[in-house]
Amino acid sequence: MVSAPSPVPLDPLDDPSAARKNVLRVMAVFRRRGWIPVLASAIAVSVLVGLSLLKEPVYTATGMVQLGMWSPVGVDPRSPAAMSMFETHHQLLTSHVVVDRAMEAFGYELAEGPERQDQRDEFLSAITVYPLKDTFLIHAEASTSDPHRSAAAVNALMNAFIPFSDEFLSSREVAREQQLRKDEQRLLELLRASEERQRDLYERSGYHNFDAQRASPLVRTQDLQGRLTALQLERALAQTERASYEQRVRQIAAVPEIEQLAGLGGNDPLVAARREHIAELNVRLANLRAHVPQDKLEQLVEFRDLEAQLESARRAFRELLTAAARGQMAMHAQREAALVAQERELRELIEAERSTVTSLNQLEGQYRAVLRQVEFYERELEVTRNELRRLEARSVSGSGAMIVNPAQPPTKPRPRVSALNLIGAALGVFVLGLMSLVLWDHLDDAVMRPEDLEDAGVPLLGQVPRLDLTAVDELTHLRGSSWVAEALGLIRVNLAVVAGGLRNGALLVTSGAPGEGKSFFSLNLATALARAGGRTLLIEGDLRRPRLRPLLVLDDRDEGLSDLLLGQAQLEDVVRETEFEGLDFLPSGPCPLSPADVLLRPELEALLQAARGRYDHVVIDGPPARPLADASLLARHVHGVVHVARVGASRRSIVRGALDQIQAVGGRSLGLVLNDVTPEDDPAFGYDGYVRADQGRPAPVPGGFFVFLPQVPDDDAGAGAGRASA
Pick the CATH number of 450-686 from 3.20.20.70, 3.10.20.90, 3.40.50.720, 3.40.50.300: 3.40.50.300
**What's the pLDDT at 319?**
80
Q: How far is CA 74 from the centre of its chain?
A: 46
Angle at 341 between CA 336 and CA 342, to 5 degrees: 95
Q: Return d(Cα 570, Cα 611) in angstroms, integer.
A: 12
**What's the pLDDT at 85?**
67
Confidence of residue 477 (pLDDT cuts 50, 70, 90): low
Question: pLDDT for 699-726, tens place per residue?
Answer: 433 333 333 233 333 434 333 333 333 3
Q: Strands 460-465 and 59-66, how do they pair?
A: unpaired
Q: Three-state DSSP class for 505?
A: strand
Q: Return d(Cα 681, Cα 674) in angstroms, integer.
A: 11
Q: Which amino acid is at 671?
A: G
For the chain, the average pLDDT equals 77
**Lowest-confidence region among 11-15, 356-360, 473-477:** 11-15
Q: Which amino acid is at 567?
A: G
The pair phi, psi for residue 709, each rounded to 5°, is -115, 110
Question: pLDDT for 282-335, tens place per residue?
Answer: 788 788 878 777 777 777 777 788 878 878 877 887 787 788 778 888 888 888
> Looking at the predicted structure, is the pLDDT value of residue 83 above 80?
no
Domain ranges of the chain: 34-39+43-47+416-443, 57-178+397-405, 210-393, 450-686
Average pLDDT of the residues in 189-207: 83
Q: Which of 42-56 are b and which e, b meaning 16 or more Cβ less than 10 Å from the residue's Cβ?
A: eebbeebeeeeeeee
Q: Return d(Cα 159, Cα 145) in angstroms, integer.
A: 22
DSSP result, 438-469:
HHHHHH--B--SGGGGGGGSS-EEEEEEB--T
- Which is more confident, 644 or 26? 644
**What's the pLDDT at 22?**
67
Q: 675, exposed or middle or buried, with CB in 10 Å at 0-12, 13-18, 19+?
A: buried
Q: What percent of the chain has pLDDT over 70?
A: 79
Residue 29 near residue 437 (C-beta atoms within 8 A): yes
pTM for this prediction: 0.46
**What's the pLDDT at 509?**
93
**What's the pLDDT at 705?**
34
**What's the pLDDT at 148?**
85
- Which is more confident, 502 or 609? 609
Question: pLDDT for 508-550, tens place per residue?
Answer: 999 988 888 888 788 888 888 888 888 999 999 888 888 888 7
CATH, range 57-178+397-405: 3.30.70.1130
Q: Strands 402-405 and 59-66, how do they pair?
A: antiparallel
CB neighbours of residue 331 within 10 Å? 14
Most confident stretch, 256-265, 399-408, 555-564: 555-564
Average pLDDT of the residues in 20-49: 76
**What's the pLDDT at 10?**
47
Q: How far is CA 340 from the centre of its chain?
A: 73
Confidence of residue 618 (pLDDT cuts 50, 70, 90): very high
**What's the pLDDT at 692?**
47
**What's the pLDDT at 539?**
92
**What residues form DSSP beta bridges with 60?**
143
Question: pLDDT for 95-127, tens place per residue?
Answer: 888 888 888 888 888 888 788 888 888 888 888
Write the CB contacts of 508 (distance below 8 Å, at least 6 apart in sequence).
541, 620, 622, 631, 634, 635, 638, 640, 641, 642, 667
**What's the pLDDT at 711?**
32
Q: Return d(Cα 96, Cα 93) in angstroms, integer.
A: 9
In a 13 Å sphere around the CA of 71, the CA atoms on its Cβ side amount to 17
Confidence of residue 6 (pLDDT cuts 50, 70, 90): very low
